Structure 1
């Protein structure tokens, strides 16, 4: 797997670290790339290389493919027309062993992991606080990359994690020779590796930076998510508590919430970690949001192709559930295509589907297709804690956190009388996660890790598989995960394939 090694770090800062006007506080910004073969010999070089690693996350190979692989298999999206690209296979669950998107993501994730290793291995644990800060940020990035990979290419943790194959663990101790013949670790081993990295990252990170960077709280937030995936609910609560009680973040409210994804991400009080794009870093028709939206800079929908491809919609299932309360502020993230007061339909589908564009990945700072993908935010911490407490039979505590999110959205709070044998507290929490975290790459994983199916009972191109709009993907289905890219298996025969 040569993609892991023979790698000279070339993603570094072209501009110096930018300081604010304040003499007492630094503000750091990831920037662009330059090459320097002697980069890692100084602390400033290591810092610059780390900034380059953040910048690499903005590449199309990483950013777009992460989103599509995580989001398109969910039941909150509907594909409006077949595409000649691999996106259609991701959506339909007709995954390929040579999937272009899965291959590109797999390679890019390990490419960045290799870059983090080159820095991590040069910084001993007894180093200065400045060096440990650099090490901690790279440990966070490496952990995030491995966690994303094991979710996509390894089966859900609830399904025999000690025997099911996960992904190769690329640590700083893996030599180039070993990397060429590396095997897949088990799902449990990858999770253990990720947790160890995050715990160490939290110890190393002491400098307060913006939400475009790894911080101690970002490590805690990701630990909360990971423990939830492992069904270690006490730990999920513990780390969610640390983030919430830090008071470093506040839920966006009212108009600010309804335009959550449209502002400068570093000024967003709810973001914990996001991949920041500036106005000059707009991929336009190649951006994530181009697939979801075609409209003006104010969120008003226009015809397909006006400003983006507009081929993926909010599903009728999701929109109808969201519209149960017409006053729900989260409706501002949907831009229905309405002409002369009439909801427009996509007649390419049978039955015809309403065109509900999604603008969550658009409209940043008035640029139609600009977005800074949010990976961790405070609302998820409340919902992580709610789900964990639901499973710990702390029903009122779970309801309290769900109601924080519902109250912010402007819809009625739940009481204990709403918890019934047919509408359990876990049902309530998962529904609220669906409403709140839609189009952020979480829905399918929320279902599968809880042994629940993805049920598509609405129009979309999935109907071309068997002529029915009904498609059910059970958590045990082989294709809830992707194939290991065949190109990587050709390089390394020790990489086993998913069934």
Structure 2
């Protein structure tokens, strides 16, 4: 979209929001020119809001900051701030995440504002129906962006924890303060309920009713509403089958959508997911899989084949006869001859099994949690596997975290999973000794303030109403 608001330094959270929609072009994205006075204009503006949504920022941060990567053989300083955990309020990665997600929110709010003032008296029934779908998607997108911000900038998920500014209006000169987590979740859930009443079923590159269920299940788990988490997960499990091993491999090559609820579609104009690890022009790896993650993988598990390029050391990797020197990542193999170009599978039914299992475990339903995990493992091995036998909640959660690590690797979950479970497990980030040393830390204690990202210094400097997160005031 064109610059539809006054571009001022005192609203750093909007910096990315004034870029043209052509900056990032997912499917059906084009620049919206002129005022938003027709349904067609507003539809184009919605494409601009989708265009601004860049989940790769959190995927990149989570992968580098936690324990699933190590510096690659072609690293020339890429990602050092995140991987060495030296982030502060001035770090570019922090500002990029904050400003990018608020850009999405601002664009969604402009769409909603335009719908609220459009003259509908001369519109056809088809145009009115399309406006309802646009409104539902804009509400859902606003909710999603606020939720993503909470996962990294809120110190916790309790209602009285410090959240982020919840913005349901077009910011021009306002300097918003931070709302409580409870208030932000209230806004998110209100948006999702309103969206659910408007949306119809649609393809998985657009936000739809099933996405709303999936996000609500994730929210319920994070907030400790385990009964609701199970209920929402069960609805999706009944609708979406788990992929077979063959379908699973095809899914990450963008050739199968069996278990995909919502994905961020990517074209050649977009930043490539493979670019999180490789120079996409030369294929050199500046990050590789950590030995910590590699050691957790079983070659009989299809996730081994999806995650690891195991044919790079003169033959198939064997820990004894052919130990790896390099652990190149294959999660985003590319498509149509475009190296590293793949859609981002953000909500899959596999996660719903993991949500259900964790919620069951936290409710003390240990046998039920074991069966839920067993169903996922059977699908990934392509054969019947022995069910785990959990004797305590801690044992169950530890095993489920391990399963989440393998299933959701390089999809933006690992850092968030470790930060939200550290009170129970007593663990922070613990890297394999082969993945760390020197300036690269081997452990981040669970009490470390860096489990919450700082509010960007650029925002602090110009917005007197914004409070910084604990631990960063003296950095």
Give the TM-score taking structure 2 as reference length.
0.84
Report the counterpart of residue 314 of structure 2 in structure 1: 340
Over 3 Å counting, the alpha-carbon distance change for 1:424 and 1:261 in structure 2 is: same
Q: Unpaired runs of 5+ in structure 2?
A: 1-9, 121-127
Q: Which whole-Å CA distance do the structure 2 matches of 1:191 and 1:82 have between them?
A: 42
- Asked if 1:11 corresponds to 2:5, the answer is no
Match of 1:253 among 235, 244, 260: 244
Match of 1:196 among 185, 190, 198: 190
Over 3 Å counting, the alpha-carbon distance change for 1:400 and 1:129 in structure 2 is: farther
Is the Cα contact below 8 Å between 1:69 and 1:102 reproduced in 2?
A: no
Secondary structure of the residue aligned to 2:434 is coil
Q: Unpaired runs of 5+ in structure 1?
A: 16-28, 295-304, 346-351
Is the Cα contact below 8 Å between 1:448 and 1:474 reproduced in 2?
A: no
Deviation, structure 1 residue 344? 11
Match of 2:302 among 329, 346, 349: 329
In the TM superposition, what whole-angstrom CA distance separates every residue of 1:441-466 from its partner, at most 9, and x where no partner exists?
Answer: 11121122112422112323x41237
Match of 2:88 among 79, 82, 96: 96
- Asked if 1:227 corresponds to 2:220, the answer is yes
Superposed CA RMSD: 3.1
Report the counterpart of residue 18 of structure 1 in structure 2: none
Report the counterpart of residue 38 of structure 2 in structure 1: 42
Over 3 Å counting, the alpha-carbon distance change for 1:270 and 1:439 in structure 2 is: same
Secondary structure of the residue aligned to 2:202 is coil
Report the counterpart of residue 349 of structure 1 in structure 2: none
In the TM superposition, what whole-angstrom CA distance separates every residue of 1:381-412 from its partner, at most 9, and x where no partner exists?
Answer: 11111111111122232222212210111165
Match of 1:185 among 179, 187, 198: 179
Q: Which whole-Å CA distance do the structure 1 matches of 2:276 and 2:89 have between them?
A: 24
Is the Cα contact below 8 Å between 2:262 and 2:346 reproduced in 1?
A: yes
Over 3 Å counting, the alpha-carbon distance change for 1:53 and 1:306 in structure 2 is: closer
- Asked if 1:262 corresponds to 2:253, the answer is yes
Deviation, structure 1 residue 129? 4.2
Match of 1:454 among 429, 438, 448: 429
Q: What is the number of equivalent residue pairs in this alignment? A: 443
In the TM superposition, what whole-angstrom CA distance separates every residue of 1:312-370 from its partner, at most 9, and x where no partner exists?
Answer: 222111111113xx31111112113633348699xxxxxx9832111112323442221
In the TM superposition, what whole-angstrom CA distance separates every residue of 1:178-222 from its partner, at most 9, and x where no partner exists?
Answer: 2xx21111223222222222222222212x321110001001101
Over 3 Å counting, the alpha-carbon distance change for 1:453 and 1:91 in structure 2 is: same
- Asked if 1:52 corresponds to 2:48, the answer is yes
Deviation, structure 1 residue 117? 0.3
Is the Cα contact below 8 Å between 1:383 and 1:402 reproduced in 2?
A: yes
- Asked if 1:493 corresponds to 2:467, the answer is no
Over 3 Å counting, the alpha-carbon distance change for 1:175 and 1:445 in structure 2 is: closer
Give the TM-score taking structure 1 as reference length.
0.80
Report the counterpart of residue 276 of structure 1 in structure 2: 265
Task: Summarize the alignment of residues 417-496 of structure 1 with structure 2, pairs less than 5 Å apart.
Answer: 418-421=389-392, 424-451=395-422, 452-460=427-435, 462-465=436-439, 471-496=442-467
Is the Cα contact below 8 Å between 1:282 and 1:369 reproduced in 2?
A: no
Q: Which whole-Å CA distance do the structure 2 matches of 1:340 and 1:449 have between them?
A: 40
Secondary structure of the residue aligned to 2:431 is strand
Is the Cα contact below 8 Å between 2:24 and 2:270 reproduced in 1?
A: no
In the TM superposition, what whole-angstrom CA distance separates every residue of 1:232-256 from its partner, at most 9, and x where no partner exists?
Answer: 11111121122222x2x33221222
Secondary structure of the residue aligned to 1:322 is coil
Q: Which whole-Å CA distance do the structure 2 matches of 1:190 and 1:308 have between them?
A: 41
Secondary structure of the residue aligned to 1:32 is coil
In the TM superposition, what whole-angstrom CA distance separates every residue of 1:256-276 from its partner, at most 9, and x where no partner exists?
Answer: 212321124xx5121111111
Secondary structure of the residue aligned to 1:376 is strand
Q: Which whole-Å CA distance do the structure 2 matches of 1:391 and 1:64 have between them?
A: 30
Over 3 Å counting, the alpha-carbon distance change for 1:454 and 1:282 in structure 2 is: same
Q: Which whole-Å CA distance do the structure 2 matches of 1:90 and 1:185 have between them?
A: 27
